[in-house]
Structure 1
Amino acid sequence: MLRYIPFLLVLALWIYAFIDCLNTPEEQVRGLPKVVWVIIILLFGEVLVGPIAWLVAGRLRHAPAGGSTPSEWHRNHRTTFVAPDDNPEFLQSLREENKKDESLLKDWEADLRRREEELKRREREQGGEPQA
């Protein structure tokens, strides 16, 4: 079992680099066009040259804006989060959806009343009394 671990690690790195390359926007790719990086990763994946080259030299890694450390960036980033029940856009979308649901319910109720009246009218026309 342990003899398969190196193979699985190489495979995992290869898959990670390939997916990372595909998901990276073209303007963040350094050195070579994105298509060439994909080919390098696929051709040299078994010997780790392609995936490591991509991770080291292929993608432009940005530092957080303002020169802050990563922990400061995460701390500041969390303060801008707005909970759904405080987000006016989300609340407005809920109101609109609720109005649509109310309108649909009113239409169903009107259709049900119309069908009930039609059934009562048919029973009267046939001479039978409607049963309650």
Structure 2
Amino acid sequence: MGKAILVGIAVVLVIYAFFDAIATPRQQVKLLPKPAWLIVILLIPVFGALAWIFAGTKRMRPGPRRGPRPPRGPDDDPDYLRGI
């Protein structure tokens, strides 16, 4: 039973990494060209998938917001406070 769970996790990991590599734009792929990553994921299933997940892409991090922040509640809104 334990081996079946490990094999199932490995299969899901490889399928996820393969389709994630297909869906990732070329500009976000690093270290190897995109077709090479697909081959690595398929030929070295678990290690290739883990390498793709941790080292194959440039993940976009959300940056700070630009521009004024809208008021969160009535007590943060200057127009509301002027009307009191």
TM-score range, shorter chain: 0.7 to 0.9
Q: Which residue of 2 aligns with 1:38?
A: 38
Q: Equivalents in 2 of 1:13, 1:27: separation in Å?
A: 23
SS of aligned partner of 2:9: helix
Q: Equivalents in 1 of 2:17, 2:64: separation in Å?
A: 28
Are 2:21 and 1:21 equivalent residues in the alignment?
yes
Q: Which residue of 2 aligns with 1:54?
A: 52
| Identity of matched residues, % | 41
For structure 1, the 5+ residue unaligned runs are: 68-75, 77-132
Q: Which residue of 2 aligns with 1:126?
A: none
For structure 2, the 5+ residue unaligned runs are: 70-84
Q: Equivalents in 2 of 1:2, 1:13: separation in Å?
A: 17
TM-score, structure 2 normalization: 0.72
Question: Which amino acid in 2 is paired with 1:29?
Answer: V
What is the number of residues matched between the two proteins?
A: 66
What's the Cα RMSD here?
Answer: 1.7
Q: Equivalents in 1 of 2:7, 2:57: separation in Å?
A: 25
Choose the corresponding residue for 2:63, options 62, 65, 85.
65
SS of aligned partner of 2:64: helix
TM-score, structure 1 normalization: 0.47
Cα-to-partner distance string for 1:18-55 (whole Å, 9 max, x where unaligned):
0000000000001111000000001000xx11000000
Larger Rg: 1
SS of aligned partner of 1:18: helix
